Structure formats: C-alpha cells, structure tokens
Amino acid sequence: MSRGILNGQENHNYEYITKNGYGIKCEDPNKIYDSLNDFINSDKLGNALKNILTCDIKNGAEVIAEYFKENE
C-alpha cells in the first residue's frame, strides 16, 4: 500500500505499483484501515499477489528506471 507521494526518488513508485496491479494507494490516513481491510477481504489481494508472482522482473531497480525514462 502506498499512502501517496514522497518527494524525491519515490515520486512515481505509487503509480508503478497501482498501474501494474501490485498494490493499492490510499492518500487519506484516516482511511488506511478501511482500504487495507477491503484489499485483504476482496479479490484484490489475490490479484496483486498473482501479478507480483507472474511479473518478469529480474531487477526491480532496472524496471523502475526504464519506467521513469519512458514516462518523463
């Protein structure tokens, strides 16, 4: 789960995570419990796990760097 954007090198990580179905984003700290509860108790967790296990990432830093390069 990402709670939004951290300035600096983390700026686009939440986009990568949510775009590829690896996790969810919750910007409101007051809704984190509800968001996690929904994520765990629905098919979202299973889908995220499947996406993570079936992705062809050998080097996460390389993939993220390429993503930033393509989305500048």
Report CA Rg, the chain.
Answer: 13
pLDDT, averaged across the chain: 84
Residue 64 lies in a domain: yes
Task: Flag the least confident range among 3-12, 43-52, 58-67.
Answer: 3-12
State mean pLDDT over 25-53: 93
Please state at what angle helix 32-40 crosses helix 43-54, rounded to 10 degrees.
70
Please name the residue that has the structure tokens 């910007």: 27
CA–CA distance, 3 with 22 (Å, rounded to integer): 14
Residue 43 lies in a domain: yes
Instruction: Determine the structural domain holding residue 22 and report its residue range.
Output: 13-70
Domain count within the chain = 1
Residue 37 lies in a domain: yes
pLDDT at 48 over 90: yes
Residue 3 lies in a domain: no
